[in-house]
Structure 1
Amino acid sequence: MGKAKGNHFPKILRSKSELTKFQILAEVLRSQPHVKQKDIGDALGITVQAVSKYFSRLEREGFLEAGVRRANYKLTPKAHKKLEECLADLESYVRTLRQELKFERIWPALASHRIRAGETVNLEMREGVLYAVPFKNASIASGRAISNAEPGEDVGLIDLRGQIGLEQGKVLIVKLPSINEGGSRAADIDKIWRLYDEFKPHKVGVMGTVGRAVLNKLGLKAEIEFGISRASALAALRGLRVFVLAVGRMVGRIIDEIELTNIKYNANITYEVRDCRKEVENQPTKRV
């Protein structure tokens, strides 16, 4: 087995300090603006004192910007660019290693029909789930089954070729009034229903008690209730449209997770924030 060439080795893996700075920036992106150095230290397995020193260094180097309040930090544009470059470097390194190791991965899919071991099938993504379908076209994604499978069963696939076609995933975030602003009684239910009807989501997510109360008024059920920020981003990554109800600061957490997912997977998930508090005039905020 050959060795990975030196020029393929990512810069951040050559220095423990650089790797730690990369990890801290990633954790800040997930938590900003309310960043707890103790939480970051626990996640990375280092002391709070060490985290504090790295924060000071990252501020000096122009990667972190401190807010007015204590523990309020956010990444600078320079930091976003650094994260993108580091992730691209790591992805290139992993691809090189897989080639060197002749890595063969088995991919799971659901059988849409009766499949026999060795059969070549096409692959389709249906509402976020990968399906093995009868082979019809060599120009689209395909793979070879390693076992028999009945319709609806899982089947392992190897020799994957081509790219799986995905629709553009999107997250529509509905901003709701906090309980101090009147909660669900101060939400524009008609507007929320209209947005839901126009968006035609694959999945509905909710964060917090106010959001659940609004869903009750709409007669809808949430399919995503826990780990909503990451779950919404990953669902959109699979090409789904996700409709999320959230209050105040929770909106920022969802946006941060979407941006982190776009960086990590080199994706292009789009999102839109609509303010559905009564008597609040706003324009839709679109971010790509």
Structure 2
Amino acid sequence: MGDAAEGGSPDVLENKRSATRYQVLVEIAARQPAVSQGEIAETIGVTSQAVSDYVRDLVEAGYVEKGGRGRYEVTKEGVDWLISRTDDLETYLERVNSDVLGSVEVDAAIALDDVAEGREVGLVMRDGVLHANPAGGTATAVTVTSAEKGEAVGIADFEGVVDYDTGTVSVLPVPTVTDDDRPDPDVISAHVPDEGLVAVAGTEAYALVSRSGVDPDIRFGTAEGVAEAGMLGLDVLLVAVTDEIPRHTSKLRDSNVPHRVLDSDAF
């Protein structure tokens, strides 16, 4: 058994022979009982003679049972061996994804000025979008691409915390089309945030906002999208049909976004 769980490479990756042996057994399991050694050779990129040698080795190890006329079947011992090595590989890949790839994570920001690759920049949040400031800042990163002012630039090696406040979401309920209430469109303009977004969820909500003369910033106000806008520091007026509201408020609570449901008497 390999030591992938402890951080080492699994047995099947220790050398080319181990890796090829694993590949051959996988191909036999996928193609059994009628197995073409030539097809396996072409698939994994080795010679037919090499496949023949590996098959003979697997038969001797008790992992494969040989029948007549090119018929092979993987034994219970062979299946157990495959499972154990595959588990090792999965553990190893999980470590690569979390520890290795995660440590070199690359994000994107909008360049506030021209910036060259390899430059340390400050990070600031503006209008819910991360910006890279060549002049510096309390939170920093290093550019992994170059960019002109206004372009997206790749950044990595983050340090510090980007300083910004979470936004507030105000939820304005709109009755369904079967309800006798007919909201006054003027109520929309009375609650539009001075600096923020207007999102709508549901056809009745869209109709009300359209009649008010306000252009919604978010036409399809999903619970995830509205919550993310709030998390990124934007104030949002969410105009939503009543049956959409529980889904939105649940997501806002889960995301710790400050929110309030406006009194329906506002209509």
Smaller-chain TM-score range?
0.5 to 0.7
Residue of 160, 163, 168 corresponding to 1:162: 160
- Rg comparison, structure with higher value: 2
Aligned-residue CA RMSD in angstroms? 2.8
2:135 and 2:166 mapped to 1: Cα distance? 24
Q: How does 1:21-60 map to 2 (within 5 A)?
A: none
| Corresponding residue of 1:251 | 245
SS at match of 2:178: helix
1:169 and 1:4 mapped to 2: Cα distance? 43
Residue of 153, 158, 162 corresponding to 2:151: 153
TM-score (norm 2): 0.59
1:134 and 1:234 mapped to 2: Cα distance? 26
Deviations 1:19-56 (A, max 9, x none): xxxxxxxxxxxxxxxxxxxxxxxxxxxxxxxxxxxxxx
| Corresponding residue of 1:21 | none
Deviations 1:241-284 (A, max 9, x none): 11111121211111112223x2xxxxx311100134567xxxxx
Distance 1:210 1:201, change over 3 A: farther
Deviations 1:104-137 (A, max 9, x none): 1112111111101111110111111111112334
SS at match of 1:103: helix
| Corresponding residue of 1:239 | 233
Contact (CA 8 Å) 2:200, 2:221: kept in 1 or not?
no
2:230 and 2:248 mapped to 1: Cα distance? 12
SS at match of 1:239: coil
- Aligned residues with identical type, % of pairs: 28
Q: How does 1:121-270 map to 2 (within 5 A)?
A: 121-137=121-137, 140-182=138-180, 186-196=182-192, 199-226=193-220, 228-260=222-254, 262=255, 268-270=256-258
Deviations 1:158-179 (A, max 9, x none): 2111011122222110012222
Which residue identity is paired with 2:189? Answer: W
Q: Which 4+ runs in 1 deviate beyond 6 A?
A: none
Contact (CA 8 Å) 2:128, 2:234: kept in 1 or not?
yes
- Unmatched tracts of structure 1, length 5 or more: 6-93, 263-267, 280-288
Cα deviation for residue 194 of structure 1 reads 1.7
Q: How many residues align?
A: 179
Distance 1:120 1:128, change over 3 A: same
Contact (CA 8 Å) 2:172, 2:261: kept in 1 or not?
yes
Cα deviation for residue 2 of structure 1 reads 8.2
| Corresponding residue of 1:42 | none
1:275 and 1:230 mapped to 2: Cα distance? 23
Cα deviation for residue 207 of structure 1 reads 1.4
Distance 1:256 1:125, change over 3 A: same
SS at match of 1:182: coil
Contact (CA 8 Å) 2:206, 2:219: kept in 1 or not?
no
Distance 1:102 1:124, change over 3 A: closer
Higher relative contact order (CA 8 A, sep 6+): 1
SS at match of 1:164: coil
Contact (CA 8 Å) 1:201, 1:243: kept in 2 or not?
no
| Corresponding residue of 1:271 | 259
